[in-house]
């Protein structure tokens, strides 16, 4: 067992000490009375499978996490030796059109990446940035064992 832990909270996923914010709305929209964090857990399990495929056949995989109407955020994962290097990207995609039980269409095809966007203050922001570097085996194991933070039961959107 590795020391790395992935914890799912109401609006963020914790990779050890690193936070990844997500928008919970599309993780529960198609499943009435479902806890969106359960759907996030299903998505993270698919990420683990995609990362496992990096070692045998894929150059890169794309891991959707922030689903919205016309743009979404993905982590692009590429191998570097025994490590997975993750880059956070803004892409043109529709979160409402994703099958969260089978994200293979999104994970194994390069999306249309947006270079920048304008934030709420009118500033241009670079949309692609380094997220992290993790030992691939540890990351896969942590994603498969992702836990929902039960101490944070307040449901917010």
Q: For 59-105, what is each residue's pLDDT tens digit?
A: 999 999 999 999 999 999 999 999 999 999 999 999 999 999 999 99
Q: Which pTM value belongs to this model?
A: 0.87
Q: What pLDDT was estimated at residue 79?
A: 95
For residue 128, is pLDDT > 80?
A: yes
Q: Please tell me the predicted confidence (pLDDT) of residue 16.
A: 84
Cα–Cα distances in angstroms (integers) from residue 86 to residues 62, 116, 118, 123, 130, in the given order: 9, 18, 23, 25, 6
């Amino acid at each position: 067992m590795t020391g790395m832990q992935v914890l799912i909270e109401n609006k963020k996923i914790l990779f050890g000490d690193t936070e990844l914010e997500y928008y919970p709305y599309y993780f529960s929209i198609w499943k009435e009375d479902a806890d969106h964090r359960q759907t996030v857990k299903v998505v993270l399990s698919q990420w683990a499978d995609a990362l496992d495929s990096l070692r045998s056949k894929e150059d890169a995989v794309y891991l959707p996490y922030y689903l919205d109407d016309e743009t979404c955020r993905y982590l692009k994962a590429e191998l570097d030796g025994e490590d997975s290097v993750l880059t956070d990207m803004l892409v043109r995609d529709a979160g409402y059109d994703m099958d969260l039980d089978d994200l293979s269409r999104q994970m194994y095809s390069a999306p249309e990446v947006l270079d920048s966007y304008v934030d709420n203050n009118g500033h241009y922001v670079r949309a692609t940035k380094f997220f992290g570097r993790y030992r691939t085996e540890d990351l896969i194991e942590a994603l498969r064992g992702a836990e929902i933070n039960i101490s944070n039961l307040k449901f917010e959107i």
